[in-house]
């Protein structure tokens, strides 16, 4: 039976961004966290590299800002970049106080005491990490403190469906309880979307299965603007093996001297960029894609075996163990790698308080567009963004909550006109078709014709999915597919608007970067009928 819940703050997502918001709210605040599955199915859990922060005297906030602006190819918001970089050391100190097991500097070279790595796009060693499993350590550190907060209630296996809004104010949402298949209603003073990105819209991705763009799609349907959806970061190095699923080989391998090789053992990155393996991810991913297509090769290779066995096992224990499972000993042989969709640089437009276009609705982390990443995210700036914006969001919520106010009673979910589906094959088929044509037509290299083909297929799928959604009881697969096709449409429309190649968006029809002032691609939803929020047309600015 469906249930109705009321809280001061409702957080959708239990990854690093969502948990950081929760732990920075007053203990007098009633907080609900909706976890789509469990705590281990968020991209932040799988982050290997680390958190970028200025911690050494030979580094500076200005250098971090400049590196980020350079990687962002002219589309970062300088004020947001400065805002974020300036708060990095505070976040590291907060995590250290919580007991985060950061890797220490055994050589006593760094003044901070942390072992710092240098990754693509960074001019200094400023990436603090926990071996090669920083995301896992971060997630576990945050989770370990949840028991100290009796005001926080966790709802696992709850998949948000749609936001409930009135008069430009978000009041709550509907969520599918996957354990009993009923739709519950959650009302709250403040709602925070921390649902992650949308890389599952592509066939090959480093992200977990839950990265289906739920928050972006829900916010768009409710009337929020989104920006820069054309900029999808493809991580250059994911393990290539028929039995390996979504395993990323961290940027830090290249930062510590790993070389990219063709099948014949020849290095190639120096032909594409003077920074070679340390070039930003978009350049490295395109170079790998070019070489694979030129040679008809299934993969390229990443070689760190020239380092000592002890060094490799101590710096990259997770990668070492995982590769051994597939009979690849990285201390003696190179790692077969391919690019895969990794990070959504665009998302719901927010300010530095995490506020969206709707009153009382916030967005934090990969689901959002803050202006930090521009046309390309610099390595290890993502966890930094999660922490900085989660803390600023929690601060703003704390300062604007109204004491002793009861959220309104919201209308319960109506499924009186629907039936159980006997055609689930339609969902499975459409899910597969969508991810395949997005990979083929809207991937690392694009053309006008490919984008047009993708949009035509998206429109067909959207009609089928909306008809299915209106006639049958909702399921997790259907809801995720509905969100994915909406996000796919946003990506395609954004890509069509950008008549140039910049950062992560590369098109053969406009291979050069425009000399004109770079502006973000902003899509504005136009709700034709407020009572029928599914009828939305795209307006670009």
Which pLDDT tens digits describe the chain residue by residue (541 residues)? 789 999 999 999 999 999 999 999 999 999 999 999 876 666 677 677 799 999 999 999 999 999 999 999 999 999 999 999 999 999 999 999 999 999 998 777 778 899 998 887 899 999 999 988 899 999 999 999 999 999 999 999 999 999 999 999 999 999 999 988 899 999 999 999 999 999 999 988 888 888 999 999 999 999 999 999 999 999 889 999 888 877 889 888 998 999 999 999 999 999 999 999 988 788 898 899 889 889 989 899 999 999 999 999 999 999 999 999 999 999 999 999 999 999 999 999 999 999 999 999 999 999 999 999 999 999 899 999 999 999 999 999 999 999 888 888 899 898 877 777 766 778 888 989 999 899 889 999 999 999 999 999 999 999 989 888 888 889 999 999 999 999 999 999 999 999 999 999 999 999 999 999 999 999 999 866 544 444 455 665 5
Query: Does an H or E element contain 161, and which?
Result: strand 158-166
CA atoms of 334 and 299, how far apart (whole Å): 12
Domains annotated for the chain, with CATH where assigned, are 4-230+345-400 (3.50.50.60), 239-342 (3.90.700.10), 424-511+523-540 (1.20.58.100)
Q: What angle do CA 137, 138, 142 make, to 5 degrees?
A: 115
Q: In this structure, what token pair is assigned to residue 111?
A: 């003044």
Q: Which are the catalytic amino acids?
A: 281
Of the candidates 433, 368, 357, 500, the residue with the CA atom closest to the CA atom of residue 80: 368
List b or e across 220-246, with b for residues whose CB sees 16 or more CB atoms inside 10 angstroms: bbbbbbbbbbbbbbbbbbbbbbeeeeb
List b or e across 480-517, with b for residues whose CB sees 16 or more CB atoms inside 10 angstroms: bbbbbbbbbbbbbbbbbebebbbbbbbbeebeeeeeee
Q: What angle do CA 35, 176, 362 make, to 5 degrees?
A: 55
Q: Within 10 Å of residue 404's Cβ, how many Cβ atoms?
A: 4
Residue 319 CA, distance from chain mean position: 21
Of the candidates 279, 366, 226, 267, the residue with the CA atom closest to the CA atom of residue 70: 279
In the chain, how many H helices and how many E strands?
Answer: 15, 19
Q: pTM of this prediction? A: 0.90
| Residues whose CB falls within 8 Å of the CB of residue 140, separated by 6 or more in sequence, listed in order | none
CA atoms of 87 and 536, how far apart (whole Å): 38
């Amino acid at each position: 039976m469906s249930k109705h819940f009321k809280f001061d703050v409702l957080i959708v997502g239990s990854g690093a961004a969502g948990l950081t918001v929760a732990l920075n709210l007053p203990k007098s605040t009633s907080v609900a966290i909706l976890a789509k599955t469990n705590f281990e199915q968020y991209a932040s859990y799988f982050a290997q590299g680390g958190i970028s922060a200025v911690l050494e005297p030979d580094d500076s906030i200005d250098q971090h800002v400049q590196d980020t602006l350079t990687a962002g190819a002219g589309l970062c918001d300088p004020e947001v970049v400065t805002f974020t970089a300036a708060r990095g050391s505070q976040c590291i100190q907060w995590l250290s106080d919580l007991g985060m097991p950061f890797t220490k500097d055994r050589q006593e070279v760094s003044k901070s005491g942390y072992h710092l790595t240098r990754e693509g796009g960074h001019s200094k060693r400023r990436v603090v990490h926990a071996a090669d499993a920083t995301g896992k350590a971060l997630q576990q550190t945050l989770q370990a403190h949840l028991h100290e907060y009796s005001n926080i209630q966790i709802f696992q296996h709850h998949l948000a469906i749609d936001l409930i809004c009135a008069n430009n104010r978000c009041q709550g949402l509907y969520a599918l309880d996957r354990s009993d298949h009923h739709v519950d209603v959650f009302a709250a003073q403040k709602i925070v979307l921390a649902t992650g990105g949308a890389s599952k819209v592509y066939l090959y991705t480093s992200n977990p299965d839950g990265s289906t763009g739920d928050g972006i799609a829900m916010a768009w349907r409710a009337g929020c603007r989104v920006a820069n959806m054309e900029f999808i970061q493809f991580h250059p190095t994911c393990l290539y093996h028929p039995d390996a699923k979504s395993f990323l080989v961290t940027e830090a391998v290249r930062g510590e001297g790993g070389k990219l090789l063709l099948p014949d053992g020849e290095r190639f990155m120096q032909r594409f960029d003077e920074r070679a393996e340390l070039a930003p991810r978009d350049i490295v991913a395109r170079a790998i894609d070019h070489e694979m297509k030129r040679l008809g090769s299934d993969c390229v290779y990443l070689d760190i075996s020239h380092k000592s066995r002890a060094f490799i096992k101590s710096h990259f224990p997770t990668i070492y163990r995982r590769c051994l499972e597939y009979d690849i000993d990285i201390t003696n042989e190179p790692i077969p790698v391919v690019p895969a969709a990794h990070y959504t640089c665009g998302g719901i437009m927010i300010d530095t308080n995490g506020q969206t276009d709707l009153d009382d609705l916030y967005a934090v982390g990969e689901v959002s567009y803050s202006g930090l990443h521009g046309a390309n995210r610099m390595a290890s700036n993502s966890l930094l963004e999660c922490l900085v914006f989660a803390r600023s969001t929690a601060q703003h919520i704390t300062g604007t909550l109204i004491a002793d106010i009861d959220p309104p009673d919201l209308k319960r979910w109506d499924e009186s006109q629907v039936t159980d589906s006997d055609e689930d094959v339609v969902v499975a088929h459409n899910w597969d078709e969508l991810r395949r044509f997005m990979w083929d037509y809207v991937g690392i290299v694009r053309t006008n014709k490919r984008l047009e083909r993708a949009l035509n297929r998206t429109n067909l799928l959207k009609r089928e999915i909306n008809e299915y959604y209106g006639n049958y009881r909702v399921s997790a697969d259907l809801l995720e597919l509905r969100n994915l096709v909406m996000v796919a449409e946003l990506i395609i429309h954004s890509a069509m608007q950008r008549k140039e190649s910049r950062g992560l968006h590369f098109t053969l029809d406009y291979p050069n970067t425009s000399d004109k002032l770079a502006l973000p691609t902003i899509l504005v939803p136009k709700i034709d009928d407020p009572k029928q929020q599914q009828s939305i047309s795209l307006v670009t600015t």
